[in-house]
Amino acid sequence: GEILLAPGARYVPGFLDRSAQEKLVDDLRALLRENPLFQPRMPKTGKPFSVRMTNLGALGWVSDETGYRYQAEHPDTGRPWAAMPEVVRNTWDRLADYPHPPEACLVNWYDEGARMGLHQDRDEEDFHAPVVSLSLGDTAVFRIGGQDRKHPTRSIRLESGDAFVLGGASRLAFHGVDRVIAGSSSLLPQGGRINLTLRRVTKPA
C-alpha cells in the first residue's frame, strides 16, 4: 500500500522485503570499500555534519567550507563515484514516474545520535524530477513541512525497507531527521541507519 501524505509526497511502507534489504546492505558494504564514507562540512563554518555520506552514480552531492555542489569525483579519493546497484536503479524506474534515469544516489549513514536539520533540497537543476528515498536499518523520526520554513510540520517514522517519493508540490518541502531510534531494527548488526536518495541533477536535453 501507498500513502499520500501531501500533494506529491508518496510514502510506500515495506517497499523492500527483508531479503532485498540484506542484499542491498551487502552490496553497499562492498561499494563502500572503494567509495568510502566522507564527513561533509557546513559551508563557511566548516562544522562537520553528524551524518557521514557517500554517493553512487555519475554525480554526487558534497558539502564543505566552499559550499554545496554536485561533482563527478569523490572528495577524498578523487575517483569517480561507484555505479548504482541494480535494485536502486529499479526502485527509481518503479517509483519516480519520470522519463530519465537518476544521476545521483546520495548515501546518508546515521550512527547513533546523528540527525539532519530541517532543510530544502534545491541544488538540482530540474525540480520536475522527484527525489526517491529508501531507508535501511534503525527507524528514523522524520519531519516534513511545507515550502516555507514557518509552515507547520508533521512527523512520521521511516522504517527499514520503506520508500518515499517527493515530487510535485512536495519537491521543495522542508524536511529533516529529528533522531534515529537505536535498537529498532536488526538489519545492521552495529545499529544505525542508512538512507539512499535518488536524484536527477541536470535538466534532460
Q: Closest CB to ligand MD3 among 82 and 104?
A: 104
State the binding string over 104-143 for ligand MD3 (x if CB under 6 A, else -). --x-x-------x----x---------x-x------x---
What lies within 8 Å, CB to CB, of 117 at 6+ separation is: 176
- DSSP letter for each residue of 14-31: T-S-HHHHHHHHHHHHHH
In angstroms, what is the minimal distance from the CB of 164 to ligand MD3? 5
Which residue is listed with cell 531479503? Answer: 19
Q: For Cα atoms 34, 52, 16, give the angle at the middle one, nearest 5 degrees.
A: 80
List the one residue out of 61, 19, 56 whose CA is nearest residue 43.
61
Among 16, 95, 166, 180, binds ligand MD3 (CB under 6 A): 166
In angstroms, what is the minimal distance from the CB of 132 to ligand MD3? 8
Among 163, 173, 180, 187, binds ligand MD3 (CB under 6 A): 173
Q: How many residues bind ligand MD3 (CB under 6 A)?
A: 17
Partner from Fe ion, ligand MD3, none binding residue 98, C-beta < 5-8 Å depending on class: none
In angstroms, what is the minimal distance from the CB of 43 to Fe ion? 15
Torsion of CA 7, 139, 192, 39, to 10 degrees: 20
Q: Closest CB to Fe ion among 75 and 176?
A: 176
Window 114 to 133, contacts with Fe ion (CB under 5 A) = 121
- DSSP letter for each residue of 154-200: EEEEEPTT-EEEE-GGGTT--EEEEEE-TTS-SSSTT--EEEEEEE-
Task: Report the interface residues with ligand MD3, using CB under 6 A.
Answer: 106, 108, 116, 121, 131, 133, 140, 144, 164, 166, 170-171, 173, 175, 177, 195, 197
